């Protein structure tokens, strides 16, 4: 099967690139968007093929799924061609939010959007308006923590979501309980925990909480 799913429309149509591992998602999105004659959808199931196409053809915006390996690096490469890049997902992107924005993402569109929502979100983009969901804006709030790593003190940016997870860990919540409390997936919480382990240079919950207290992100004694 070809990794390119394309439908050619008049040159004045706005070219939209959809990059997803599933051809069925690409075709479904194409059908929804091309209900509006302003949009011409081109689809790719491989990031490298999509990047090669950008070198020879202009696209106004790109919708990319989060499930590709090294997706942050892929978004940086796509953004270098100056399209509007949107994350197109059915999972919670909040653990990746700051890195996605830093890589060049302009907004987030959910695969569960119906045709009216999808067209409205892309129409907003055409008018230069961002469509970042309000619940993700909390991730813009970063706390700078000073963490001792054996070589001195280092600065790390801690998101509000990471701070929340630390607080629930200190209260003895399981990861599944934290996910339920915050209304996100277990996978999302596992990713947040992995990011915290990396930032604090630890490999266990006990070490993480100890260093979080040293960095004054938690009370010295569990609440």
Residue-by-residue pLDDT tens, the chain, 223 positions: 444 444 444 457 889 999 999 999 999 999 999 988 889 999 999 999 999 999 999 999 999 998 888 888 899 999 999 999 999 988 777 767 777 888 888 888 888 888 888 888 888 877 777 666 656 665 555 555 556 555 556 667 788 788 889 999 999 999 999 999 998 899 999 999 999 999 888 999 999 999 888 877 787 554 3
The CB density around residue 110, as the number of other CB atoms within 10 Å, is 16
Global confidence as pTM: 0.60
Q: How far are the Cα atoms of 91, 134, 212 from residue 70, in angstroms, in the given order? A: 17, 26, 28
CATH architecture for the domain at 141-214 = Orthogonal Bundle (1.10)
Q: How far apart are CA 15 and CA 38, in angstroms?
A: 9
Q: Are 4-137 and 141-214 equal in CATH topology?
A: no
pLDDT of residue 70: 83
CB burial of residue 84 (10 Å; 0-12, 13-18, 19+): buried
pLDDT of residue 122: 81
CATH superfamily of domain region 4-137: Response regulator (3.40.50.2300)
Give the total residue count for the chain: 223
Which DSSP string do the residues of 103-148 spell out, in sequence order? HTEEEEEETT--HHHHHHHHHHHHTT--B--HHHHGGG-EEEEEEE
| Sequence-separated (6 or more) residues with CB below 8 Å from residue 110 | 88, 89, 90
* Contact of 205 with 172, CB cutoff 8 Å: no
Domain boundaries, the chain: 4-137, 141-214
């Amino acid at each position: 099967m070809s990794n390119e799913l394309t439908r050619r429309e008049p040159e004045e149509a706005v070219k939209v690139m959809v990059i997803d591992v599933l051809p069925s998602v690409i075709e479904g999105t194409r059908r929804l968007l091309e209900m509006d004659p302003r949009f011409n959808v081109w689809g790719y199931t491989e990031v490298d093929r999509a990047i090669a196409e950008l070198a020879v053809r202009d696209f106004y915006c790109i919708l990319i799924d989060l499930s590709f390996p090294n997706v942050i690096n892929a978004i940086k490469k796509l953004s270098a061609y100056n399209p509007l890049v949107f994350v197109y997902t059915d999972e919670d992107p909040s653990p990746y939010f700051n890195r996605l924005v830093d890589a060049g993402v302009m907004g987030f569109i959910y695969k569960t959007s119906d045709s009216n929502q999808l067209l409205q979100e892309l129409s907003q983009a055409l008018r230069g308006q961002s469509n970042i969901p309000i619940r993700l804006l909390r991730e813009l709030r970063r706390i700078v923590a000073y963490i001792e790593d054996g070589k001195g003190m280092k600065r790390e940016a801690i998101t509000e979501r990471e701070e929340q997870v630390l607080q629930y860990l200190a209260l003895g919540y399981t990861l599944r309980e934290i996910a339920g409390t915050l209304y996100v997936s277990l996978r999302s919480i596992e990713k947040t925990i992995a990011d915290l382990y990396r930032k604090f240079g630890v490999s266990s919950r006990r070490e993480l909480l100890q260093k979080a207290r040293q960095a004054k992100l938690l009370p010295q004694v569990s609440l």
